[in-house]
Structure formats: structure tokens, C-alpha cells
Chain A
Amino acid sequence: MSSVSDDRSRDRIFWHCRRGLLELDLLLQRFVARHLDALDDGQTAVFVELLEYDDNDLFDMVMKRAEPVNERLSPVLALLRDV
């Protein structure tokens, strides 16, 4: 049972993957297609939290130029780094 079974919250997550940086648009689109359905509630919440970051900060984390301030974000970030 996935927390994004609710179509509307899924749509909202989709929309929050629309970014100022094309690079993030592309990676997040890929991530959503590959992983979103399989995330549990906790992971989904972390993903939503990652989406709150500014574009360049999030991109730096994804490209391993920066590490997350909170280790709690690391497992989902690892998936994102891998897409």
C-alpha cells in the first residue's frame, strides 16, 4: 500500500518536480517513473522534503557535490543519485 495511491497527492508531487533547472526536471521525472510507486510513506515524505530544497542546492546534492545536512535524507537521496 503506497502513500501515493491518492492520485491527487501524486499529482502534487509530480508538479513539484517541475523545477527552474532542466537538469532537475529530467532527473526527477526519471526518479518518479522508476521509484515513486515503490516508496513507503516515510520515503515519500523524505522525497517531498527533498523537493523543498532550492534547485541548485538539490542539484549539488544529487551530483554529489554536496552532502545532505540531515542523514535522514540519505537513503532516498541515494536512489535519486542513482537514477
Chain B
Amino acid sequence: MGNIARRQFDAVVVGAGGSGLRAALQLAEANLKVAVLSKVFPTRSHTVAAQGGVSASLGNEEPDNWHWHMYDTVKGSDYLGDQDAIEFMCRKACDAVVELEHYGMPFDRLDNGKIYQRPFGGHTSNYGERAIKRACAAADRTGHAMLHTLYQRNVRAHTQFFVEWMALDLIRNQAGDVLGVVALEMETGEVMILQAKATLLATGGAGRIYSASTNAFINTGDGLGMAARAGIPLEDMEFWQFHPTGVAGAGVLITEGVRGEGGFLLNKNGERFMERYAPTVKDLASRDVVARAMATEIKEGRGAGKDGEYILLKLDHLGGDVIDKRLPGIREIAKKFANVDPATDPIPVVPTCHYQMGGVPTNVAGQAVMPDGKGGEKIIKGLYAAGECACVSVHGANRLGTNSLLDLLVFGKSAGEQVVKDISADVKSLPDLPADAADKTMARLARLDSATSGERVNDVGAEMRRTMQAHCGVFRFPDSMAEGVKKMLAVAERAKSTFITDKSKVFNTARVEALELDNLIEVALSTMISANARQESRGAHDRSDFPNRDDVNWMKHTLWYKEGNRLEYKPVQLKPMTVESFEPKPRVY
């Protein structure tokens, strides 16, 4: 370990978005010594972008119960979600929301003072009978309000924040236990070992693997890269939720309300192609149908633009006045991010990556798990994960809106509780670090610091994003995926010889971006390879050659290992904790 500085904690939390802050709060309130690492100031985490709300069957507007919520979530997951985890989450939802209310979260309210609830796609009353009001919100700033509430509460509990620190690698010993992280302080460029009895990954999603993504630039899958490099598998990485209409080249979402108000999609020939795919409802078909049609048009050479890479969303026929009145803000968004005024010109749009369903495999207590090699599963001692970077799996093959904020609250807390339990039960003192604890990380940094030529980080990143968008997007074609695997393997090779010209230590953002690329590459590879192997369509994984769900052969979770790009599978947990299993049915809305 040479002269690398070392600090010791009870727990290290990597990431300070919703799940990291919720977990950290649990730890700090139990008087544990906690370090929370974040690349950016905590309240600038991507959780601020969540607008819709957080679901809980409070029944403030109309009768509701957790079992209906559970049904909706199982169905939404296209039966890939683990029903024990889904039961756990839906049962805990009301308490999680009320707890946040008591922390001071400014929820919108009804006249009677109770929390206001609104309907949200996929949430229903009485097992699919009709839409139900289940989403609790703070105007259109639910994530923002949640993040601020949790941050303040953490300050009160004396959580120690390491702001502008990037965790680089997990430290594991021979037994496979996780003993902390090697991290980089951006301000000084110094590398430090943060030794801990528990390490909790809460690094969010990695949507930046796609060229069209709604994710902020910080969403580079750092926790996933760390896990993959440490020999821990990534689960269900082929499942990514896409939104049909993000601004081409930017990723900023154009609300589906545009089509609701009479806007429609055109290919490069000016054809209103949705008439072919959905003759009755046309542009008002469901999200997946619209996204699939758009991807098909682009794949078959009818996309607009220089490289045929996007679709046109036309709404000028509505007239400027109607657009301003019915779709407030849309002109400003289009002007800013697409450089067009939709009152006169169509907006270039593409299906855009939004949410990652897969991640580090965990149980409901947030403990990271992996196959034990004997047909069972073992807990990885010392490692925990929660939120979008974890796969517990409550979202299965597709996530219901508002379940992401619920996920991070419920599993952030349960992971925190488990850490408290584990530390008080059997980890009295810090286990010894292996002599080579930071060697691999230091070698990676040394290579980057000494290389004077090689691949540019931006070039490799752009090639990765293009490859993923073209070969593993919202609708997947067999020939294209096979080619995508080859291309991604080549991109991953190139990523091994990146170089940076700025060799300084202090606040070197080029170095940070090179290290982020290492993480993105692991995520992209796992996605491409897992997707190519899954020969069915389920939830967000949609293949042209296998259009149906195949419960006989594919009702199982994918596990991808970095070493040799090996795949394993594990069964879906169909048995809930206390109630009857929801048997698979066709997912029709």
C-alpha cells in the first residue's frame, strides 16, 4: 500500500442522491461514524430531476392498499421483478412517505390537510380495474424536495460528507469480503483508502452509456464499474427504460402531452408513419409501440437528418397560440435544446434512455449477493447497494413511474438498518486490509498518468454511446446486436489505452472523466452482452426476432461477470413474503 493515506469509518456510503442520503441518515442516527462520498454537492445529485412523485397506497383520495400496488408493480415488471422484494417495498411505502412528511418534506396537500395524491401510468385500483391516485408529489419538484429534506436531516445527524470525492475501486480480501474503497479527492488529486466495516453503493444509474439519454453527465455508473472490476456480477443490465421523445443530440424530454395535443411524428419522407404501426390510435399509441416504430423507421433508413438518425415531431399545425396555451414551456425547451421553434419547424426527436432497471444484485436488506457456486446464493460481506445502482429487483424488466423514488427511500433505509445490525452483531473491529488493497487502482492511475499517447477519452466515449444507441437501443434487431457485441468489445479494448494531456494532480477533471469512462464501459459491455443473449421480449427488452415473452426459458435474471464476459442466470423469486404469488399473465394495459 506504500504511502497511501488511510482513514477508518464504520461505514462508507458512495453517492449522495436519494438512496445514499436515506441510508446515511439511518447510519448517522445510530451514531455510527459515516463517510458519504459524492462527486458533486449532495443536493446536485440526479435525484433532483425526478418530477412525478413517490407512490404509496395512503388512500387519501380513494380506497387503496399495498396489495393493489404490489400487483401493479409485478405486472409492470413483466413478471421479472422479485415478488418478495416487491411485497416488501409496497408494504413499506406508506411509512416511508409519512416518515418523510415528518422530516418536513413539503408534499402537496388536500383541503383536509392530508397528502394530495395524483394518478400515474400503470397504477390501478383493484388489480387493474381503473387508474388510481397513488402518487404523492411536491409540485413538479418531488425529487428536489426529497433530496433537500434528506440532506438537511443528515446535517442534523452529523453525517460526514466528502464532497468532490470520487470512489474508484472496492477493496476485497481473499475471502471476498469488502473492506472499503479507494477514493480520489478531486481538490488535491490525492488517493486515499477509506477503510470501513460496511461499504454501501448508492451511485445511481448509468444512462450516459447512450448518446440519447435524459441522465445528467454525472450518471456514469461508478458503483457498477467498481463492482464489476471487483468480480461482482451485474444483474439484468439489458433492461433500460426509454422515453420515445427526447431531443435528438441533447436528451431533454419533450412531454408526451405534445402528441396528446395533436402533434405527430414524421419520417424523412414526410410520412406520418404511425398510421402504419397503429392505424387507429396512431401517435397516441403506448410509449413502447411509438418508440419501437421510431426505432424501426431509423433502422430501415427513413430517419431524418444528415445521418438519418432522428424522427421529426411536428406541431406547427397547432399554431403558436395553441402551443403556448396548451403546452407551456415547450417552445422555450425546443428553442434552447433543439434550436427550432416548433411553431414553424418540427422538433428532431429520438427514443431516449431514462432509467436503469438492472444493477448490483441485492436482497431486500440491501446486502449485495452473488451465486455461491453451489447452486445457491451468498451474501458479500461488507457490501450493500440501494437505489438505481442496485437490482433488488423491484422493477424487473420495466419500472412503473413513481416507484423509483419509493425504491430509494425503502431500500436506502433497509440497507442502512442492515448495516447497523451487521456492525453491532459481528464486526467489532476493522478487518486487516490485504497488502495489495490499492495496487490495481494505483496501477490504473499510473498508466493514465504516464501514457503520452493513445485513445482520447472523448472519442472512445462517443463511440461507446453511438454503438449502444445504434445496436442496443429501445428496439433490438438480432443482426445489429451481434454486430454491437463485436463493436463494444473493440471499444472496450480501446478504452484500455486512453490518455490525457493534463497530468496535473489538482482538480484534474480530464482524469476524472477518464476514470468515469472506465465505469461506463463496464456498464455498456454488460448491457450489450446481456441483451444479445436474452432471446425473448420482456418489458423494456424488445427484440424483433423474439417478439414474445418466453416464461418457460427466460423467466430468470441475468448475471454478467466482467471476467470473460461470462453470463449466468438465477431464478426470479416468484414467492412473495406472506401473500400468494401473482401468476404471470400477458401484460396488457
Contact = CB atoms under 8 A, between A and B. Distances in A.
Interface stretch (B259-267, B319-327, B363-371, B503-511): B503-511
Given A20-B40, A20-B46, A7 B216 contact: no
Contact of A26 (B48, B329, B337): B337
Contacts of B218: 18-20
A21 B43 CA distance: 11
Of B44, B250, B504, B506, most buried by chain A (CB within 10 Å of CB) is B44
Interface of B is mostly: loop
Nearest to B508: A11
Interface string A4-31: 0001100110110011111101110000
Contact of B40 (A12, A18, A27): A18
Of A7, A14, A18, A20, most buried by chain B (CB within 10 Å of CB) is A20
Interface in A33-83: 54-56, 63-65
Contact of A56 (B144, B164, B251, B506): B144
B164 A15 contact: yes
B504 A63 contact: no
Given A26-B252, A27-B336, A20 B49 contact: yes
Contacts of A25: 216-217
Interface in B497-525: 502, 504, 506-509, 512
Given A21-B216, A56-B144, A11 B507 contact: yes
Interface residues of B, number: 36
B141 A20 contact: no
B48 A56 contact: yes
A22 B216 contact: yes
Of B164, B217, B504, most buried by chain A (CB within 10 Å of CB) is B217
Contacts of B215: 22
Nearest to A55: B48
Given A27-B336, A55-B144, A22 B509 contact: no
Contacts, number: 79
Contacts of A20: 40, 43-49, 147, 216, 218
B532 to A, nearest CB: 28
A22 B40 contact: no
Contact of B507 (A8, A54, A63, A64): A8
B337 A23 contact: yes
A63 B144 CA distance: 18
A4 to B, nearest CB: 13
B214 A8 contact: no
A7 B241 CA distance: 39
B377 interface: no
Given A11-B507, A26-B250, A19 B216 contact: yes
Interface string B116-144: 00000000000000000000000001001
Contacts of B332: 63-64
Contacts of B217: 18-19, 22, 25
Contact of B49 (A7, A15, A22, A64): A22
A15 B43 CA distance: 15
Contacts of B502: 7
A34 B383 CA distance: 44
Nearest to B510: A11
Nearest to A28: B217
A6 to B, nearest CB: 10
Interface size class of A (residues with CB under 8 A): 20 to 34
Contacts of A26: 250-252, 337
Interface in B213-228: 213-218
B216 A54 contact: no
A54 B48 CA distance: 9
B198 interface: no
Given A19-B44, A19-B216, A23-B337, A54 B144 contact: yes
A9 to B, nearest CB: 8
Contacts of A54: 43-44, 48, 144, 148
B22 interface: no
B39 interface: yes
Contact of A18 (B39, B43, B329, B507): B39
B34 interface: no
Contacts of B507: 8, 11-12, 15
A22 to B, nearest CB: 5
B141 A56 contact: yes
Contacts of A55: 43-44, 48-49, 144
Nearest to A30: B336
Nearest to B148: A54
Contacts of B178: none
B186 interface: yes
Given A25-B216, A55-B144, A15 B509 contact: yes
Contacts of A65: 329
Given A11-B507, A11-B509, A63-B332, A23 B252 contact: yes
A7 B504 CA distance: 10
Interface in B19-47: 39-40, 43-47
A19 B252 contact: no
Contact of A22 (B39, B44, B252, B329): B252
A21 B164 contact: no
A17 B217 CA distance: 10
A24 B216 CA distance: 9
Given A55-B43, A55-B44, A56-B48, 7 more contacts: A8-B506, A11-B509, A15-B186, A19-B216, A23-B336, A54-B48, A63-B336
Interface of B: 39-40, 43-49, 141, 144, 147-148, 164, 186, 213-218, 250-252, 329, 332-333, 336-337, 502, 504, 506-509, 512
15 contacts: A7-B502, A7-B504, A18-B39, A19-B44, A19-B218, A20-B45, A20-B47, A20-B48, A21-B49, A22-B49, A22-B215, A22-B250, A22-B252, A23-B336, A23-B337
